[in-house]
Amino acid sequence: MGDTFCGIKMEDTFCPASDIYKEIHLLHLTTTKFMDLKGTQLLLLFFAFLCSQVRKLNGDLIPGCMLSERNALLGFKEGLKDPANRLSSWVGEDCCRWEAVACDNRTGHVIKLDLQNPHQFSVTGDLLLYNKWSLGGELRPSLLGLKHLNYLDLSMNNFGGLRIPEFVGSFRQLKYLNLSNAGLGGLIPHQLGNLSSLQYLDLYNGFDLSIDNALWISHLSSLRYLNMTGVEYGDGAHWLQALNMLPSIVEFLEGKIPVALGGLCKLKHLGLSGINISKNLHELDEVFSGCIKNGLQTLYMWDTQLSGYLPDCLGDFRKLKSLHLGSNSISGPIPASIGRLSALQDLDLWNNKLNGTIPENLGRLTKLVSLDLSSNFLEGVMSEERNSLSGSIPPSICLLPYLESLHLSNNNRSGGLPLSLKGCRSLVTLDLGQNGFSGVIPTWIGESLLSLKILRLRSNKLVGNIPPNLSTLSAPQILDLANNNLSEIIPSGFGNFTAMKVLRKTYGPILSYYKHYENLQVTIKGTDIEYAIFLSLVIAMDLSDNNLSGKIPEELTNLFGLVSLNLSGNHLTGEIPEKIGALRQLESLDLSRNNLFGGIPSSMIFLTFLSYLNLSYNNFSGRVPTGNQLQTFTDPSIYAGNPSLCGFPLTQKCKDAETNEVPNAPEGDEQNDNAMNEDGSEMKWLYMSMGLRYAIGLWAIFGPLLFNRKWREAYFQLIDYVYDMVYAALAVIFTRFKEHIIAA
pLDDT (tens digit per residue) in 443-491: 999 888 888 888 999 999 999 999 999 988 877 888 999 999 999 999 9
CA distance 739 to 744: 9
For a pLDDT cut of 70, what percent of the chain falls above it?
66
Torsion of CA 334, 336, 342, 348, to 10 degrees: 0
Give the CATH number for residue 568: 3.80.10.10
pTM for the model: 0.51
Q: pLDDT higher for 341 or 264?
A: 341
Mean pLDDT of 626-639: 87
The verdict on 291 and 397 lying in the same domain is: yes
Task: Identify whether residues 309 and 416 lie together within a single domain.
Answer: yes
Question: 407 with 536, same domain?
Answer: no
Whether residues 372 and 287 share a domain: the answer is: yes
β-partners of residue 329 are 307
Boundary-marking domain end, from 407, 427, 447: 427
623, 474: one domain? yes
Residue 444 lies in a domain: no
Same domain, residue pair 577 and 471? yes
CA atoms of 151 and 148, how far apart (whole Å): 9
Residues shown for the chain: 744
Q: Are residues 660 and 704 in the same domain?
A: no
Distances (CA, A) of 518 to 96, 346, 562, 569, 630: 37, 10, 20, 29, 34
Which of the residue ranges 54-68, 456-470, 589-603 would you say has the lowest mean pLDDT?
54-68
**Selection from 443, 439, 549 nearest residue 484 by Cα:** 439
636 & 525 share domain:
yes
In a domain? residue 15: yes
Best mean pLDDT range from 340-349, 358-367, 615-624: 615-624
Cα dihedral sign, 400-404-410-414: positive
CB of 229 within 8 A of CB of 274?
yes
User: Is the pLDDT at 353 greater than 50, yes or no?
Assistant: yes
Q: What is the pLDDT of residue 157?
A: 92
Query: How many CA atoms lie within 13 Å of 88's alpha carbon, on the beta-carbon side?
Result: 5
User: For the residues 362-368, what does the mean pLDDT come to?
Assistant: 79
Q: How many domains does the chain have?
A: 3
Residue 191 included in any domain: no
Same domain membership, residue 710 and residue 660? no
pLDDT at 338 over 50: yes
> What is the bridge-based pairing of β-strands 80-81 and 136-137?
antiparallel
The answer to whether residue 727 is domain-embedded is yes
Rounded Cα distance, 468 and 491, in Å:
6
Q: How far is CA 12 from the centre of its chain?
A: 36
Looking at this protein, which amino acid is placed at residue 663? P
Q: Which of these ranges, 45-59, 306-320, 567-581, 624-638, has the smallest mean pLDDT?
A: 45-59
Across 382-404, average pLDDT: 51
**Confidence bin at 37 (pLDDT 50/70/90):** very low
Residue 50 has pLDDT above 50, yes or no: no
Cα distance between residue 150 and residue 735, in whole Å: 37
Q: Which of 1-10, 310-319, 606-615 has the lowest mean pLDDT?
A: 1-10
| 155 within some domain | no
197 vs 219, more confident: 197
Task: Report whether the peptide linkage leading into residue 649 is cis, meaning its omega lies within 30 degrees of zero.
Answer: yes
User: Which domain range does residue 586 map to?
Assistant: 461-664
The amino acid that residue 524 corresponds to is I
Instruction: Name the burial class of residue 694, with classes exposed (0-12), middle (13-18) and buried (19+) by CB atoms within 10 angstroms of its CB.
Output: middle
Q: Establish if 138 belongs to a structural domain.
A: no
Residues 501 and 552 in one domain: yes
Establish if 683 belongs to a structural domain.
no
Burial of 203 (0-12, 13-18, 19+ CB in 10 A): buried
Do 414 and 541 lie in a common domain?
A: no
**Predicted confidence (pLDDT) at residue 681 exceeds the cutoff of 90:** no
Higher-confidence position of 523 and 8: 523
> Would 449 be classed as within a structural domain?
no
State the pLDDT at residue 17: 36
Tell me the pLDDT tens digit for each residue of 412-423.
Answer: 777 888 787 888
- Give helix then strand counts, H and E, for the chain: 12, 43
Domain boundary among 664, 680, 708: 664
Q: Are residues 280 and 393 in the same domain?
A: yes
Give the residue among 313, 254, 323, 324 at the shortest CA–CA distance from 285: 313
Q: Which of 374, 404, 427 is the last residue of a domain?
A: 427
> What residues have CB less than 8 Å from 170, skipping those under 6 apart?
144, 191, 194
| Calpha distance 173→111 (Å, rounded) | 9
